[in-house]
Structure 1
């Protein structure tokens, strides 16, 4: 491994979020940007990630035509050796700056010629340490590059020699000097040109590379002042607008979740390179040799490998023969409600139905416990999901909320990065008869309509199929309150929990909530969440949720709010009562309002439990 190579350990799940293609990652010594998936290959140029199998339904419902592969995985050994394939990245920004406030000299990629560590300024008396500049150039079309420091330093040039000064990255002649609070000045040593540097500046992107690691410029030149093109922005590297990963996810449900794992046919099916070896073996002798090699590797007989090979040729895994693509949430909702015959605990989807025990508690409670009895009435189905598997796919990323950029930049890759997450959860549905009557109340519809109008007029596009309705507002707010209650009572960090909202009206209505935890470890979580679905514990949990919906530490301000949060898409919901960590919420922490649960006497909205 080269002395200039830097290894940065990254969690597998982070590779699809803030450490993925085009993102800026902070290493021990330098900031880096992750290269696109065209370079996620081994030494032979073969895609290095493991193929994820048995996900045809997932791909269909997510409208994905490419294969799904895990990001490559590598381990650092002794003496700088690496076992596996690392995801490539490059140091970025390319410019470093002297930390001496009087000097501020800019260097272009000084690590290429300086041997000392840390890198130091060669021009000022203090020989101060160099640090990467915290600003980059970003365009809404997804482009990213270094700030054009020479261009900015001469932006206000008027003298002839200043106008004729040409950029030379082999020399260090530009200074970026702090002159007070948020006031910086650029100065050129060669021609004495000066200009003010404002990080909020907008400039033409120019003929720079589309991404730092790509040597071609954008398809359309954006460089001439006066051109009617969207300008680029100078942003700080920690600005959330620099990079936003776009992911899609789906649960693995029957029949894919019921595949028998570990059998010879399964192991052979998952090894695409081994299958290709058998296909390339045209003669009986060559095929016998390939079968013998595989039998030794799988520790089984040659006949078992040959039988597995024949089964694959005959259409294994056979689960798609009568398969009809459906809708994502509708399919999951049905799978959660249906009881699975002959279910094994090692399957990837193990729902345990507890509805009978839940309903039986009604008769056990005394009449004076009217509130608890109403809670039992409003929950129609209760299911402990003892094991689940979620597929998360990186479909694109964007900068400045602009154009969606595929993980290979050009949109021609045959695969997308994805990970398999394992965990458990609690699923329950609300009584349809109660919800259908409740959501027709005029005051509720009027309140939901205000949210709907704000949502359609905003630039936020959280979910293309989202219908903002009283039903959705209720379910989404309830899911948030439940996650916060699980954090308080069960010790689960809110950041580890996720929500999945099943909501439709009409012919086949849905009113369900799945709160779950999912991690990359195949073992999954420790079972604590599924245990909380036991009826008696879940009843107390829901009672606390309804209690906390009634009151916020910022009331009456929070409850009386006409609009708060992004685009005013929250009302009686704030960080003190309802909001959860961003990764947990599938809807960007908006469209939340406790009034849909607790009611509001001033607007004629009765509490949900009062409608039972």
Structure 2
């Protein structure tokens, strides 16, 4: 296969593009397999073989995590291509897209009458539904192939499966699905009749004038009809790869609106670039390994420090036990143990070692009073990050249901995520500089809250019951894990949302430009709020200033949580714990008036939220972590 497929069919000098896309949007919204609307057409973004590559990005921690997946063992990271506005530039690079869907609706509202059919008694204005090979050039000549061609628009309905496979609806089969005559339609002529302006699928009819068959489009949205999906079973078609090669799937196909929010869920993986203290230690041990490799214990390492000046200088700042553990690892031929993504980040943030600062990462500790009172009595550590870099890569995508990393930031995608290419040799990634602040909750205060607050255990049971109900109504119920369904995570997540709303009023960033990173694993509990926005807005310094006055902003956040504009209804809400009892299985007291924020800012799509765990509300105060401060 050619290495420059992105050049195939490119019309270099004909017209300017209809729009532009930022690199960060490519990772989240417009990656391979995404459906894109243009002015008079629609397309699907092509797979990575059809992309020009940008500069290579190096991030060892992210690559090490991705290497767990068999398809990503030798993968590299590249930025998406960057193009200037000069159309004649020979260095101009592109991302290809293919036309999809291949069915179109005539835009002439008189198409029915122009085709020689009697006006409808109900006043409806059906329009022809045509495949691309039935078009007259780029339009439809409604008068039997005569006259001027009317404009056509891509049909807004298609079908897909949760694994991301996509295909046109088999329109002829669907139109005749309920036809009971034994003889098939010999000359299908399809029409779409949108009887009402609302767009409700009950008011959209698909009909055939070849045999008189008709069906409402709402019928296509049913999962099963007499044990069969009305849209058929998936045959593994992947039109974004630009080939007719299919994979085995056989999942029931679902009805999909091209512009629906669940038509494309990117599966990203991200890390905060941090100095690898263990790597630095291994490098220093390597420099004197020939001298110290015969050490039998930590006391021998201490002896070498005392007697050999080069060893003392190289190993300064490292413990004898850590150095001997590294010697022993090499002696026994063991591989370097990889720490989980968020575990490694949390260790660096809690250690607060300012000597590890570099051009991509810098931290500064905020001294806290020894005897803390009020809100600060619940805080363990505050760290300012005047400089940080987030590296985010696109690893795949799904439709209908999102797949994300686990509570430690690790990715496990398996076969349930659509591939970006065949085979995958590189992944699109972005490197976003920014700034922010981190704070941890005091572990002793957390343990006391879990132990002494009477409502915490009851709330925990409700959250877990809601998760089980949510899991039962999912197609991949066996894949969903309850990592996030616990009160510790929900507390941290809800507090982060309140704080984002509070600080966005003064810090210089919009709320959608601030991103959260929740640490709730075995290593500790903390929140990192940072901005990783492209351009100058990502380095204003406003979040660092917030971190210096964290107590004041936490007080504002807690005030926002105590009373919601939708109280008492919001405060009384509990996670739905029965399938069919509702559709908010993973949220307690939360709504758009208090906790819900811009989804790009949230790492869990505005799920696992409950302000009752943060602060007392008009309904309850027996589970609030910050009650009484």
Q: TM-score, normalised by structure 2?
A: 0.72
Distance 2:279 2:537 in 1: 17
Partner of residue 478, structure 1: 495
Q: CA deviation at 1:198?
A: 0.9
Partner of residue 286, structure 1: none
1:124-523 alignment, distance < 5 Å: 128-157=150-179, 162-165=184-187, 173-180=189-196, 182-188=202-208, 191-201=210-220, 202-205=230-233, 209-211=237-239, 214-216=242-244, 218-220=246-248, 230-255=251-276, 324-342=337-355, 347-354=359-366, 356=367, 358-359=368-369, 373-401=373-401, 404-410=416-422, 412-441=423-452, 442-459=454-471, 464=481, 466-504=483-521, 508=523, 510-521=524-535
Partner of residue 597, structure 2: 580
The answer to whether the 8 Å contact 2:388/2:435 transfers is: yes
Q: Check 1:477–1:151 CA distance in 2 against 1; reply closer, same or farther (3 A cut).
A: same
Q: Which runs of 5+ in 1 are unaligned?
A: 42-47, 167-172, 223-228, 260-320, 363-372
Distance 2:499 2:457 in 1: 24
The answer to whether the 8 Å contact 1:178/1:185 transfers is: yes
Q: Check 1:590–1:472 CA distance in 2 against 1; reply closer, same or farther (3 A cut).
A: same
SS of equivalent to 1:439: helix
Q: Which runs of 5+ in 2 are unaligned?
A: 1-9, 112-126, 221-229, 281-333, 403-414, 577-581
Distance 2:187 2:516 in 1: 57
The answer to whether the 8 Å contact 1:389/1:518 transfers is: yes
The answer to whether the 8 Å contact 1:121/1:130 transfers is: no
Q: CA deviation at 1:525?
A: 2.2
Q: CA deviation at 1:417?
A: 2.1
Query: In angstroms, what is the RMSD of aligned CA positions?
Result: 3.5
Q: TM-score, normalised by structure 1?
A: 0.74
Partner of residue 527, structure 1: 541
Residue by residue, what CA displacement relative to the aligned partner does 1:205-260 show, whole Å, maximum 9, x if unpaired? 4768432654435334x8xxxxxx5431232112233221111111111139999x
Q: CA deviation at 1:400?
A: 2.9
Q: CA deviation at 1:423?
A: 0.7
Aligned length: 508
Q: Check 1:464–1:606 CA distance in 2 against 1; reply closer, same or farther (3 A cut).
A: closer
Distance 2:136 2:54 in 1: 34
Q: Does 1:555 align with 2:553?
A: no
The answer to whether the 8 Å contact 2:167/2:239 transfers is: yes
Q: CA deviation at 1:489?
A: 3.3
Q: Check 1:4–1:33 CA distance in 2 against 1; reply closer, same or farther (3 A cut).
A: farther
SS of equivalent to 1:254: coil
Partner of residue 101 from structure 1, selected from 99, 109, 113? 109
1:47-58 alignment, distance < 5 Å: 48-53=53-58, 55-58=59-62
Q: Check 1:386–1:8 CA distance in 2 against 1; reply closer, same or farther (3 A cut).
A: same
Distance 2:537 2:178 in 1: 61
Q: Check 1:580–1:28 CA distance in 2 against 1; reply closer, same or farther (3 A cut).
A: same
Q: Check 1:469–1:141 CA distance in 2 against 1; reply closer, same or farther (3 A cut).
A: closer
Residue by residue, what CA displacement relative to the aligned partner does 1:510-540 show, whole Å, maximum 9, x if unpaired? 1211111102449942211112211xx3221
Q: Check 1:560–1:408 CA distance in 2 against 1; reply closer, same or farther (3 A cut).
A: closer
